[in-house]
Amino acid sequence: MNEAAEAELKKKKDLHGLRLIFGEDTNESDAEKMEGVLKNLEPHENLEELRIKGYPGLHFPDWIARLSNLVDLTIDSCKNLRVLPDLSKLKSLETLWIYKLEEHEEMVTIGECSSYPNLKSVSIFSSPHSSLPKGFNRLTSIQRLELFKCETLDFELEELKHLTMLQKLWIGDCPILKERCGEGKDWRSTLSHVPKIYIDDKEITASRN
């Protein structure tokens, strides 16, 4: 923990990318310790890219929400995480990757669309939730949406209708969604503005019925 504080990342104004990778085999005491470690690894607000992988803690530190220049955020395999951080203050965020978060009780809650004026790409991999994040349809700047291995995820195509800038929708290994909006389904009447839709790597064309 002291070594993390001694790194003094907050003073490194020229640090634009940071990858924090934690070990996979941790017990409860390790998880508490790592929460302190991550808290002390607060970077300078100039940071543009952040990837956190394998973090065993239950919560993220508050400093993540203060990274006003962050463009790319990846949260990967943080399996003990209960609540995702408040991202509504990350005005510069363009790309959000959420991978393998098995235990979190609350999905990201989206604020007003003005909170994410630059968010262009969202990827959700192996989510335990059956619905999209609250307020997801307010993210009108999204151009690319990827959903992988979300076995219980289920929503109506109408929930994406307000993503008027969406250019590519990619759904893989999501059995319920595959059944709902797979080949032969008339998605074009609802998502006519989306040029590319893929289900399990296969491009879906308009229904000929």
Q: Give the contacts of 146 (CB within 8 A, at least 6 positions apart).
A: 121, 122, 123, 124, 125, 170, 171, 172
Q: Give the contacts of 9 (CB within 8 A, at least 6 positions apart).
A: 15, 18, 41, 42, 43, 44
Among 186, 190, 139, 147, which residue's Cα sits nearest to residue 165?
Answer: 139
Kindly report the pTM of this predicted structure.
0.85
Radius of gyration, CA atoms only, the chain = 18
Q: What is the pLDDT, as a whole number, of residue 4?
A: 63
Q: Give a yes or no: residue 1 inside a domain.
A: no
Q: Give a yes or no: residue 39 inside a domain.
A: no
Q: Give a yes or no: residue 208 inside a domain.
A: no
Q: Give a yes or no: residue 6 inside a domain.
A: no
CATH number where 170 lies? 3.80.10.10
pLDDT in tens, 156-185: 888 888 888 999 999 999 999 888 765 556
Is 132 within 8 Å of 158 (Cβ atoms)? no
Is residue 110 scored above 90 in pLDDT?
no
Domain of residue 158: give its range: 12-20+45-55+65-77+87-203
Which is more confidently placed, 109 or 150? 150
Query: In terms of DSSP bridges, do strands 196-199 and 121-125 run parallel, antiparallel, or are they unpaired?
Result: unpaired
* Angstrom distance (rounded) from CA 44 to CA 27: 30
Q: How many domains, in total, are found in the chain?
A: 1
Q: Give a yes or no: residue 209 inside a domain.
A: no
